[in-house]
Amino acid sequence: MLEPYRQVLNSTRIVLASASPRRKEILEKLNLDIEILPSILPEDLSKEEYGTKPHEFAVKTAEVKSESVFERIKAENSKNLLVIGCDTVVSLHETIFGKPTSVENAESVLSKLSGRSHDVYTGVHLILHTDQAVHKTSFFEKTEVEFMDMDSEIIQAYVRTGEPMDKAGGYGIQGLGGTLVKGIKGDYYNVMGFPLHVFCVHLLMLLKNIENS
């Protein structure tokens, strides 16, 4: 999808404002040279305030990440710059779940998700800095995930593996957590933490708008 703009992208410094190895892995499927530079600002938005609008929480958090990284590095850049900020959350019954805060919290979250369908939202904020101007766009993707019924033994054993502790909602679909998933409706990569297709769609629109301006 992005091949018509391969030369432009190859001459652009692309910075991912996230330490997630999964997001980097997904983006590298596009044969892009990705630089990792996580935001150092605290992620302190109130999940309770966004309970009915988890997509807005994810997009706002992504915006905070990308804007903070952009402000840190824009002066040192000598060529086009693309900063990618993103945030993934799990939502169930107007409750937003991020990464577990403890083993007990991970077990509690997984117990709530057991036997139910929940939504995974990833918000993305892009900042493209060219010689002419700074261009920005935000968007999100939603994927529905259905979990199996899990007893406490399964939940505790999974949490003991350590895999849930740095994953939104306490599980990783690309790892052992995939054995808990009965099915999904939507983008698999979005559940991993980065909506690859919709990212390409919006980046393509951004590049076309710049080309035609």
| From 44, 87, 119, 166, active-site residue | 87
Query: Residue with structure tokens 């007893």?
Result: 151
What ranges in the chain are assigned the alpha helix state H?
6-10, 21-27, 54-73, 103-113, 152-160, 188-192, 196-212
Give me the count of residues in the chain.
213
The b-or-e profile of 62-93 (16+ CB within 10 A means b, else e) is bbbbbbbbbeebeeeeeebbbbbbbbbbbbbe
Q: Residue 89: CB partners within 8 Å, gap ≥ 6?
A: 47, 54, 57, 58, 96, 97, 98, 120, 121, 168, 169
What whole-number distance in Å separates Cα of residue 135 and Cα of residue 138?
11
151 is catalytic: no
Residue 141, Cβ neighbours under 10 Å: how many?
23
Helix axes 152-160, 103-113, angle to 10 degrees: 140
Say which residue the tokens 């499927």 belong to. Answer: 29
Instruction: State the number of CA atoms in the 13 A half-sphere of 146 facing the CB.
Output: 5
Catalytically active residues are 87
